[in-house]
Structure 1
Amino acid sequence: MTIRVLLADDQAMILASLRIILEDQPDITVVAEARDGVEAIEQARRTRPDVCLVDIQMPRLDGIEVARALADAPPRVVMVTTFDLDEYVHDALRGGAAGFVLKDAGPGLLVEAVRAAHAGDALISPSITLRLLRHLADRAGRSTARAPAQPLTPRETQIVRAVARGRTNQEIADRLFISLSTVKGHVSGVQAKLGVRNRVEIAAWAWESHLMDPS
């Protein structure tokens, strides 16, 4: 299956570079480009890509607003930016983004982020992952998570802990000796019970619920 991607960045050189990197992959094709946030939303709704790579800072609407606007739409949004400021990361992921990758992370990680988003996983650049987890652990000491709509099963609790540790669906499947489709089903069920939209919100809930060891 070919992964259909929309690119959104206000710099023509960046758009061209991203296109070259992605279209060098046999399973990825770029179906549209946008130079600002409003155009990105319009193009996403018109072309219906699988994944949108969106820059944080763009004219008219920034990338975080684009992620929020498309949170309930088919495409999954991955933020691609030169900035790794904490507020950008938290706002983007809370806004529904499926990943956060720095432009200098290299083409390999960019391609991984697209494939992970398409597979229902979330990928965050390694340079900011540790800081994000520390933020979640710190916030856990200052807040109390809301109770789920229905109690989590023991297996769902295992899934939540694995997601909070940054495991991908495939890694969870391998560790728990269950199928990939079963993991995806559990993740969807957990999201419904917790009332969250993505894996990062699952991780945040896990830390706030004191399911994780801060050490």
Structure 2
Amino acid sequence: MNPSATSPTPPTPPSSASPATPHHPAPDRPIRVLVADDHPAVRGGLVALLEADPSTQVVAQAADGDEAVRRARAERPDVALTDVRMPGATGIEITPALRELGARVLVISAFDLDSYVLGALAAGADGYLVKTEEPRRILDAVHAVASGDAVLSSAATRAVVAALRSEQAPGEPAQGAQGGSGRDGEDPRASARAAWSTAPANTDDSAASSSRSATWGPAPGVELTRREEDVLRLLAQGMSNQQIARELVVEVTTVKTHITHVLGKLQVDSRVQAALWWQQHRE
């Protein structure tokens, strides 16, 4: 019997145990990628893009969220590239299960709605891109999340910043989700705080999430070198380490060193938090 003709099996919810350590591809083998999208043309385009790059290998495809989890369980990809809106379980809903299976999750969607961006990050996604990105940007993002980086499109970064800026002053009574709500009526500001506090650390291959509370870090007068400001500005535009290195004509290791210094000076744990700090204090 054709497995695709059977009723979809709901994804197994994450257990209370710690998630599996994300896979770190060996330098001598391609990055193993699962592509999940319910539109055949889009899915085929992403597969063709990835297969054309010898450093990436598509090991599984899925047309809905439930199938994506089944295929991830069978193939154990390094990276899951998933759409948000799919039949059955959504890309956001399956993100914890994919992370539980050891995959890094890169969400790619036609929509940059705040509720999608914040929901994906709060669920544990390592990155969020829109489908209008250049092909090279998508490839770079796959490589970035595979190596432990977090990648956000400019629109995704703006969504988090806007949600955090909309928070009420201390002591002000809650008034609900103004300007749009998240999934199931969730206040997007709560998702923003969750995204802030769980944004993956990414100056190295660490899979640990930030444990800090939602805070903007030190005052805007923090002293950064000219080069650190250049790196932080490009990081806030959603660039990966590889893209920043190309833009500044330096080695990727140099970019990582600068980011490490920046995170220390800003007293934050991840590049996502650093990007938000830049947009709050310097733009």
**TM > 0.5 fold call:** yes
Unaligned runs of 5+ in 2: 1-28, 171-192, 198-210, 214-223
Distance 2:126 2:81 in 1: 10
Structure 2 residue aligned with 1:152: none
1:93 matches 2:121: yes
Structure 1 residue aligned with 2:281: 213
* Per-residue Cα deviation, 1:93-115 (whole angstroms, up to 9, x for no partner): 11111111111212111111111
Match of 2:159 among 115, 118, 132: 132
Aligned pairs for 1:54-69 (under 5 A) are 54-69=82-97
Unaligned runs of 5+ in 1: 150-157
1:6 matches 2:34: yes
Structure 1 residue aligned with 2:139: 111
Distance 1:178 1:18 in 2: 25
Would the aligned equivalents of 2:65 and 2:91 in 1 still touch at CA under 8 Å?
A: yes
Would the aligned equivalents of 1:71 and 1:95 in 2 still touch at CA under 8 Å?
A: no
Structure 1 residue aligned with 2:98: 70
Name the % identity. Answer: 35
Structure 1 residue aligned with 2:188: none
- C-alpha deviation, 1:92, in angstroms: 0.7
Distance 1:133 1:102 in 2: 15
Distance 2:274 2:129 in 1: 18
Would the aligned equivalents of 2:140 and 2:240 in 1 still touch at CA under 8 Å?
A: no
1:21 matches 2:21: no
Local SS of the residue matching 2:145? helix
Distance 1:91 1:16 in 2: 26
1:30 matches 2:58: yes
The amino acid of 1:38's aligned partner reads D
* Per-residue Cα deviation, 1:47-85 (whole angstroms, up to 9, x for no partner): 010101101001110000111222333111111111111
The amino acid of 2:97's aligned partner reads A
Local SS of the residue matching 2:95? helix
Distance 1:117 1:80 in 2: 13
In the comparison of the two structures, how many residue pairs are matched?
Answer: 196
Name whichever structure is richer in helix by fraction.
1
Local SS of the residue matching 1:56? coil
Quote the RMSD (CA, aligned, Å): 4.2
Aligned pairs for 1:178-197 (under 5 A) are none
- C-alpha deviation, 1:168, in angstroms: 4.9
Residues 50 and 131 from structure 1, CA distance in 2 versus in 1: closer, same or farther, beyond 3 angstroms? same
Would the aligned equivalents of 2:151 and 2:239 in 1 still touch at CA under 8 Å?
A: no
Would the aligned equivalents of 1:57 and 1:63 in 2 still touch at CA under 8 Å?
A: yes
Local SS of the residue matching 2:85? coil
Distance 1:140 1:203 in 2: 19
- C-alpha deviation, 1:213, in angstroms: 2.5
TM-score (norm 2): 0.55
